[in-house]
Amino acid sequence: MPKRRSYDEAPPCAIVATLNLINGRWKGVILYYLTVNGTMRFNELHRHLPGCTPRLLTKQLRELEDDCFITRTVYAVVPPKVEYALTEEGRSIAPILMQMNDWGARWLQRRGLRPQSNEAA
Amino acid sequence: MPKRRSYDEAPPCAIVATLNLINGRWKGVILYYLTVNGTMRFNELHRHLPGCTPRLLTKQLRELEDDCFITRTVYAVVPPKVEYALTEEGRSIAPILMQMNDWGARWLQRRGLRPQSNEAA
DNA sequence: CTGAATCCTTGACGATACTG
DNA sequence: CAGTATCGTCAAGGATTCAG
């Protein structure tokens, strides 16, 4: 059973539930990159998230794993190699992420900020 | 100029931006209710958000107002009457909210939780 | 390369009471 | 009715260092 976090409380409101799952500083972007790029390694992901410490990245990844959004595959090699990929469940939110990306880009533009392109690595 | 909050920092990533705007315990649901019900009063909104204190509701509403998602109309009557409604900008995220509602409902069902219906008041 | 350990800051959010 | 005021908690997230 996935470990629950603080904001998972009683009334099962669908919107609140959805937001709780992708809340967390980088979860949305992580899922987005995995959607676009497919399988990614830890540092590969890390390079795409300027300002995210490894500690926090690890935490967010673990939570996404607990919530069955991603899988974590460890290869027994030296140096270590760990790959992250979306599960079926993880792929199912892709439409929402894409819409958020589009909407957010337009929002940024309306405010005169050029959104950084979120393209494949 | 809208007051910015802590998590608005440098790299203008569209997804991060979108998430930041609807982060906050109840913002998503507030916007959802306003989308479905149109104009709503403070206590009307409050009744739909069990567990949300007036203090927090006020805060979230002010932030949504600062971000130009909603308007706040005060009527000079006794007893006081304040109405909240979506702006054009606020209406533009409706598709995302609807998708989140649908996706979340399915997610809750997969976990054996019956989502509470988010219908009009 | 992929983290874990440790320590710390801060701000989101809660509880309760009160008011024009 | 629609908030404010005050006080408090707690966990998310940051900084830095170390390790298999």
Asked if B14 and A115 count as a contact pair (C-beta separation under 8 A), the reply is yes
Q: Is the Cβ atom of B43 within 7 Å of strand D at any atom?
A: yes
Say if residue A90's pLDDT is above 60: yes
Residues of chain B with pLDDT under 50: 1-4, 6-10, 121
**In chain A, what residues touch B50 (CB-CB under 8 Å)?**
11
Position A117 scores a pLDDT of: 65
Position B61 scores a pLDDT of: 98
Say if residue A64's pLDDT is above 90: yes
Burial of B77 (0-12, 13-18, 19+ CB in 10 A): exposed
What backbone phi and psi angles, to 5 degrees, belong to B13?
A: -85, 130
Compare all CA atoms of chain B with the CA of A11 and give the residue at the minimum distance: B116
Q: Is the Cβ atom of B49 within 7 Å of strand C at any atom?
A: no
**In chain A, what residues touch B25 (CB-CB under 8 Å)?**
7
Position A118 scores a pLDDT of: 62
Quick check: is A118 in a domain?
no
Position B112 scores a pLDDT of: 80
Measured CB to CB, residues of chain B less than 8 Å from chain A are 7, 9-19, 21-23, 25-26, 28-29, 32, 50-51, 89, 92-93, 95-97, 99-105, 107-108, 113-116, 118
Chain C nucleotides close to protein (CB under 7 A) are 1-6, 10-17, 20
Nearest protein residue to the C1' atom of D13, measured from CA: A56
What domain count does chain A have? 1
- What is the pLDDT confidence band of residue A112, given thresholds at 50, 70 and 90? confident
Say if residue A74's pLDDT is above 90: yes
Say if residue A6's pLDDT is above 60: no
Q: Is the Cβ atom of A25 within 7 Å of strand D at any atom?
A: yes
The CATH number of residue A32's host domain is 1.10.10.10
Half-sphere exposure of B93 (CA within 13 A, CB side): 31
Question: What HEC string does chain B produce?
Answer: CCCCCCCCCCCCCHHHHHHHHHCCCCHHHHHHHHHHHCCEEHHHHHHCCCCCCHHHHHHHHHHHHHCCCEEEEEECCCCCEEEEEECHHHHHCHHHHHHHHHHHHHHHHHCCCCCCCCCCC
Say if residue A5's pLDDT is above 90: no
Quick check: is B20 in a domain?
yes
Quick check: is A31 in a domain?
yes
- What is the pLDDT confidence band of residue A111, given thresholds at 50, 70 and 90? confident
Threshold 0.85, pTM exceeds: yes
What domain range includes position B19? 14-109
Quick check: is A88 in a domain?
yes
Quick check: is B46 in a domain?
yes
Quick check: is A115 in a domain?
no
Over range A14-28, report the average pLDDT.
Answer: 93
Asked if A79 and B90 count as a contact pair (C-beta separation under 8 A), the reply is no
Quick check: is B43 in a domain?
yes
Over range A27-37, report the average pLDDT.
Answer: 96
Mean pLDDT of chain A: 88
- What is the pLDDT confidence band of residue A50, given thresholds at 50, 70 and 90? confident
Q: Is the Cβ atom of A55 within 7 Å of strand C at any atom?
A: yes
Position B50 scores a pLDDT of: 86
- What is the pLDDT confidence band of residue A4, given thresholds at 50, 70 and 90? very low
Quick check: is B3 in a domain?
no
Cα–Cα distance between B78 and A46 in angstroms, integer?
56
Please name every residue paired with A84 in a beta bridge, in sequence order, or none if there are none: A40, A72
Position B2 scores a pLDDT of: 39
Nearest Cα to Cα of residue B96 among A105, A113, A101, A32: A101
Position B14 scores a pLDDT of: 93
